[in-house]
Chains A and B, each alone.
Chain A
Amino acid sequence: MALLRFGFHLLEVALTPRTYDSATRWIITKQIYFTAVQALPVFLIYSLVISVVLIQIMVSVARDFGLSEYVPGLIVGFLLMELLPLLSVLFVALRSGAAINTEIALMHVNNEITAFEHAQIDPARYEYMPRVVGGVISVLALTGLSALSALLVAFFVIYGLDWSNLGNYTHSMAQLLPLTLVFGLIAKTVLYGLCVTLIPIKTGLEIPKRLFLVPVSVLKGMMRVFFAIVLIEVASLTFKYM
């Protein structure tokens, strides 16, 4: 509940146009840089390797069972919709979520947040909101890129280097991706992005002001993030298949 209220407050801040002055823009840029751009090569290699291996297994197993026609459906339904968003959000959670949690917890313990408030500076505007926005954009971008690269890899695994099948392939893939599914994926990814940034910030602010409690806060925050991710995943699956 407290988390939801906190989230709504940040949303309110984020939706106010005058929030975006050069300082906030700079913090958002930095957040995106550290979360997504810096990690992009590693992340892309990691998601490509997983995609290639899984698609290769799907294709060969399906061929053995004579179910090749279901491979595109499996790639879209399992890899694109479930696994790649999950992997990208775990990646961001472990890389940036933990960092955000530690940073906020240290700022909180060192009374920096109180100092901001004393100086009439809204920490939500200059510290929290940019991190959340940057995190959401990063998770969205990483998921999107990994999904598109997985689709490209799937083409090469299924058809080899024969470009003449590309039209046929994109057409059949497009038939498997109704807009509701795409919007559902975007919504889920935004939720993931919110939970890997909002929960660490909130957890970092919750601890008593003792330095030795910072690791505890990070640990707690990460566990919460993990549960939230699983909850979102289960909820999306239930919603999709009920």
Chain B
Amino acid sequence: MNKSIQFKVGAFILAALLTGAFSFIYLLYERGWFEHSLQYTLIAPDAENISVGMPLVFRGIAIGKVSSLTLSPQGMARIVVSVESRQSQWLRANSQFSLDKPLVGAAKIRADVSDLSSPLLSPDKEYPLNQGSGDLDIPALAAKANAILDQLGTVAKNVAYMTRRDGEINATLVNAQAITHKMTGKYGVAQGLLGSEQNAQVLMDSLQHTRELTANLDEMSRKLDRTVFDKGGLIDNANQSVAQLPPMLEDIRASLKKVDTLLVNANGLTANLKEGTDDMGQLRSEVDEALSKTNQLITKINRFLPAGKPGEVKLP
């Protein structure tokens, strides 16, 4: 019994002592007691918000802390930061030190480095500490934030109003859907633009007429060639009625020009939808006008020209 108790107590005391001692030594090690630490000096206009023990962080990880605060001979605040030697590699000659004071939580000194290949920070020199924009004016900040939040609220309300059931946006979207649906219909984009299948049909008819018209004109010019320039044709038997030809040809040219414009516009219809829509009404009336004019002209000319028999031309 005695031996057993003695053994158990001995083991307990030994285990407790060993764990305690090990933890304590490990704590000392982790706190850098066995480590050589380097002292760097920072200079700031004042040491407000800075206290001994404040951490120096690099990329959000504490690598050192403020070890003392004194005044420099120039009357500036002199902040000595001690950094463990194994962490000193993160501080370079071009490092920037700034005081980071979050809205909530403890302030810290932040080290930023842009180039890790530049020479190491020298413990003998003094480096400036940027104190940022000073204290945060929390009431002013809150007021600003409130104004912004109010505006956001209005915006959200408007958005909710616009996107409500049966709202304008929804109607627009429905219309857009209808239009695109029409565009995929029989007459494609033209149907979409002109509103209905019937209207599109009219345009198609116009274009068909124009095509027929060009065919007619082509035939007519061939006839003219034969009639006017062949041997025994109009030129040979120059007379007064021939003198009427130039203005007629002029008219035909003008009409042809209009047809040309019409065709160009019809082509542009698919390329430039907007312009196409704007010109559509005008275009249609012009097409009709041009067609009727040209047709009149053709009947006139046909009346004039001998139908394949040059002998029938009445000459005065």
Interface string of B1-37 (1 = CB under 8 A from A): 0100110110011001001100110111011000000
Question: Distance in Å from the Cβ of B91 to the closest Cβ of chain A?
Answer: 19
A182 to B24, CA, bound (A): 9
A30-B5, A174-B30, A175-B31 given as contacts; is B13 within 8 A of A144 (CB)?
no
A140 to B16, CA, bound (A): 9
A170-B26, A175-B31 given as contacts; is B9 within 8 A of A32 (CB)?
yes
Interface string of A132-149 (1 = CB under 8 A from B): 000001001100110010
A153 at the interface (CB under 8 A from B): no
Total residues of chain B contacting the partner, CB 8 A: 18
Chain A residue nearest to B5 in the complex (CB): A33
Residues in B with CB closer than 8 Å to A32 are: 9, 12-13
B298 at the interface (CB under 8 A from A): no
Question: Distance in Å from the Cβ of A33 to the closest Cβ of chain B?
Answer: 5
Closest 6 pairs (CB-CB, A-B): A174-B30, A141-B16, A37-B12, A29-B9, A33-B5, A33-B9
Interface string of A10-34 (1 = CB under 8 A from B): 0000000000000000100110110
Residues of B with Cβ closer than 8 Å to A?
A: 2, 5-6, 8-9, 12-13, 16, 19-20, 23-24, 26-28, 30-31, 62
Number of A-B contacts (CB under 8 A): 49
B30 contact from A26, A33, A171, Cβ within 8 A: A171
Total residues of chain A contacting the partner, CB 8 A: 23
Residues in A with CB closer than 8 Å to B27 are: 174, 177, 179, 182
Interface string of A79-118 (1 = CB under 8 A from B): 0000000000000000000000000000000000000000
A201 at the interface (CB under 8 A from B): no
Residues in A with CB closer than 8 Å to B9 are: 29, 32-33, 37
A178 to B30, CA, bound (A): 11
- Assess whether B31 is in contact with A29, with CB atoms less than 8 Å apart: no
Residues in B with CB closer than 8 Å to A30 are: 5
